[in-house]
Structure 1
Amino acid sequence: MKLLQEPLSLARSATRDAQMTAKRVFDVIFSVLALLFLLPLLIIVAIAVRMESKGPVLFRQTREGLNGSTFGVFKFRSMRREQGDATGVAHTVRNDERVTRVGTFLRRTSIDELPQLLNVLRGEMSIVGPRPHVPGMRAGNHTYRVLVPYYDHRLAMLPGITGWAQANGLRGDATDAALAHARIDHDLAYIQNFSLWLDLRIILRTIRHEFLGGTGN
């Protein structure tokens, strides 16, 4: 899937509006069914998080959403409470001492992201879309907005639990400027080429590579 020449060529049409409505209906149905199906796992994870270290089971962090509006994204807490970074500016690195043993497993399998199904039900996120970044997100020793001049174009769609960039292995450490830039290009390619069929492809890739393959960090 290629990025078109004009990142903001998102002219409204009856077809696209219908697809966006169908996307929202799909998000709600998928989230409800996923929460019901995963409830036993979510309970086990919550108990494990509380048993290993003191603090809340869920961690909430401010992220940028549609058109730059901010909201609190939910995640299972994977760090020790006293060492967590509420701003999200300090990137997690390999063998990060702030991450608990349970948290290491949760991050590797991306299970820590599952509480974001609640954000989807609240209308703050979608199942598939550009991953929500913290305000002032840094990449390659710069803020993303300095590194990628058209960075804000990715805010034209609701952020997602997973996205085209993540489905193609572009996730994790953002210190590599080239990889960070590639994530944004993949986000824009998704926005421009969005379809429910593409969403299904991304969901299946995510389950195979992250939840089952354990490629998260």
Structure 2
Amino acid sequence: MEYGLERSPDVERAAERLARPHARAALVTKRVLDIVLALVLLVAVLPLVVVVLLMLGFAGEGMFERRRRLGRHGNAVVLTRFQSLPGGAVGRGLERIGARELPLLISVLRGKLSFVGPRMVEPGTGAGHTGPRRLMAPGLIGPAQLGRSDASEHALDDAYVESWSLWSDLQLLVGRRPTAHQSVSKSSS
């Protein structure tokens, strides 16, 4: 089910840019990097996942919570996270390091999410999933999630997709906002 089938000129421009051979090759590289990084992280955090599962099992409540979000092209994506972890020093420490989010790595492996991309949008917030940002899989991090700009989240996500490159993804992974996004934040102030 694609949300908002109409395509505005900015969506058309971004789609044409992403369809170019060099951009398509870069998108394939992005996907391969997502898979490799997700596999490496899953292996590295496996002991932590076991600890979280044991804690949740002993707490006696459900282990997972599921949330629906809009993914690429407006397709519904069900995201799975661990339930809130039990209190205590260990539970608080695991919450602080983001252990609840570890199941999202499976969504990255499945191609429903990317490590870097536009923010995830809840269904029913139609204005949140129009524009170029709907052309790419949502990311665990992205320009809107960094929260260091006065620009709207939508404008940052759209600018990210319109000027996407592997280099901009790398900059976002290390916590820097690429130059194209900085110019958006200045122009929308």
Common fold by TM > 0.5: yes
Alignment-derived partner of residue 129 in structure 1: 117
Structure 2 vs 1, CA of residues 71 and 169 (structure 1 numbering), >3 Å: closer, same or farther?
A: same
Q: 2-side partners of 1:136 and 1:105: how far apart? A: 34
**Which amino acid is the alignment partner of residue 115 of structure 1?**
P
**1:53-72 to 2 correspondences below 5 Å:** 53-72=59-78
Q: Deviations over 1:101-138 (max 9, x none)?
A: 4776555443322211101111211111112222114x
**Structure (1/2) with the larger helix percentage:** 2
TM-score (structure 2 length as normaliser) = 0.73
SS for the counterpart of 1:60 is strand
Q: 1-side partners of 2:87 and 2:124: how far apart? A: 29
Identity value in percent: 30
**Which amino acid is the alignment partner of residue 116 of structure 2?**
V
The higher radius of gyration belongs to 2
Gaps in structure 2 of 5+ consecutive residues: 1-8, 177-189
TM-score (structure 1 length as normaliser) = 0.64
Tell me, yes or no, if structure 1 residue 152 matches structure 2 residue 130: yes
Paired residue for 1:14, among 21, 36, 40? 21
State which drifts further: 32-41 or 181-190: 181-190
Structure 2 vs 1, CA of residues 183 and 34 (structure 1 numbering), >3 Å: closer, same or farther?
A: same
Alignment-derived partner of residue 112 in structure 1: 100
Q: 1-side partners of 2:174 and 2:53: how far apart? A: 25
Q: 1-side partners of 2:34 and 2:83: how far apart? A: 24
Structure 2 vs 1, CA of residues 182 and 70 (structure 1 numbering), >3 Å: closer, same or farther?
A: same
RMSD (Å) for aligned C-alpha atoms: 2.6
User: Would you say how many aligned residue pairs link Structure 1 and Structure 2?
Assistant: 161
Q: 2-side partners of 1:184 and 1:106: how far apart? A: 31
Alignment-derived partner of residue 92 in structure 1: none
Paired residue for 1:163, among 131, 142, 167? 142
**Which amino acid is the alignment partner of residue 62 of structure 2?**
P
Alignment-derived partner of residue 42 in structure 1: 49
Q: 2-side partners of 1:205 and 1:46: how far apart? A: 30
Structure 2 vs 1, CA of residues 39 and 188 (structure 1 numbering), >3 Å: closer, same or farther?
A: same
Gaps in structure 1 of 5+ consecutive residues: 1-5, 80-99, 138-143, 171-178, 207-217
Paired residue for 2:37, among 14, 27, 30? 30
Structure 2 vs 1, CA of residues 15 and 62 (structure 1 numbering), >3 Å: closer, same or farther?
A: same
Q: 2-side partners of 1:19 and 1:65: how far apart? A: 20
